[in-house]
């Protein structure tokens, strides 16, 4: 933290030795310490108002852990008699969604069971404009309403939504196709899905096809939610605002 009066920066740490869903968050012990130097005002602030903020974050964290644990307990099984699992189609507004297992679920060791997600969305925009919205830093920041790292070249980095989403560009065909290594921060360390975005021009519109393979089973719904609400709906809103401003 930085002392407002002097502008001096100080480092310290917060230790939570007994975090457990069996304990009430308000009873959880939170220890605050600082490294060498002054900064006592920051230490006192962390012990008072800071502790309240930490406990609020802990409540959200424990709630998220319980949700992830519950989702992770409900894993798909192999279809009987060697039959292939059927494809599930879910209409959602003008978005079509498929969900099929991306790999056999005979798990060995710590192999993560995954699924493939397929979604379609129609945009009132030409393909080259829609492609730019995904590959231009300024446009990404406008629809996501957050700072972003967008290095739209093969091997370039991607980081969005305050670090909740990160990845790397692996293929770019202007106005036609983008392929990414893509992950959410809550996923197992170093686990990436492969996201392919295909842009298809139609009369006065563009159909965007999303294929996302390697999504952890426990994160299927949250990944759908991310793409539908944080990407597609926000881009639709951004395009509408742009048209309104031009009118």
Residue 237's nearest CA partner among 228, 56, 152, 35 is 228
For position 219, which CATH number holds?
3.30.530.20
Domain range spanning residue 18? 11-69
Cα 213 → chain centroid = 15
Same domain, 129 and 15: no
Average pLDDT on 126-143 reads 96
pLDDT in the model for residue 86: 34
Tally the domains of the chain. 2
Q: Is residue 82 part of a domain?
A: no
Q: Is residue 190 part of a domain?
A: yes
pLDDT in the model for residue 38: 61
Residue 9's nearest CA partner among 36, 33, 29, 32 is 36
Is the whole-model pTM more than 0.85? no
Q: Is residue 196 part of a domain?
A: yes
**Residues 1, 150: Cα–Cα separation, whole Å:** 28
Average pLDDT on 144-151 reads 95
Is the model's pLDDT at 108 over the cut of 70? no
pLDDT in the model for residue 37: 64
> Is residue 155 within 8 Å of 171, Cβ to Cβ?
no
Same domain, 135 and 226: yes
Same domain, 240 and 163: yes
pLDDT in the model for residue 97: 57
The CA distances from residue 60 to 228, 229, 243, in Å, are 23, 20, 38
3-state secondary structure at position 168: strand
Same domain, 157 and 231: yes
């Amino acid at each position: 933290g930085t002392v407002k009066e002097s502008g001096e920066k100080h480092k310290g740490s917060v230790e939570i030795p007994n975090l457990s869903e069996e304990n009430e968050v308000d009873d959880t012990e939170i220890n605050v310490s600082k490294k060498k130097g002054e900064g006592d005002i920051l230490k006192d602030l962390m012990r008072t108002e800071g502790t309240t903020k930490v406990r609020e974050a802990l409540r959200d964290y424990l709630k998220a852990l319980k949700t992830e644990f519950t989702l992770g307990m409900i894993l798909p099984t192999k279809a009987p008699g060697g039959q292939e699992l059927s494809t599930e189609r879910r209409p959602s507004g003008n978005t079509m969604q498929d969900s099929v297992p991306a790999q056999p679920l005979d798990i060995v060791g710590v192999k993560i069971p995954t699924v493939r997600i397929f979604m379609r969305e129609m945009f009132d925009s030409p393909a080259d404009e829609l492609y730019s919205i995904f590959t231009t830093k300024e446009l990404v920041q406008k629809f996501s309403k957050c700072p972003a790292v967008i290095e739209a070249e093969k091997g370039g980095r991607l980081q969005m939504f305050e670090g909740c989403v990160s990845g790397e560009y692996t293929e770019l065909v202007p106005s036609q196709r983008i392929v990414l290594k893509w992950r959410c921060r809550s996923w197992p360390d170093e686990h990436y899905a492969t996201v392919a975005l295909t842009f298809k021009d139609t009369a006065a519109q563009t159909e965007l096809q999303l294929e996302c393979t390697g999504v952890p089973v426990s994160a299927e719904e949250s990944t759908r939610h991310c793409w539908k609400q944080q990407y597609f709906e926000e881009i639709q809103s951004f395009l509408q605002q742009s048209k309104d401003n031009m009118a």
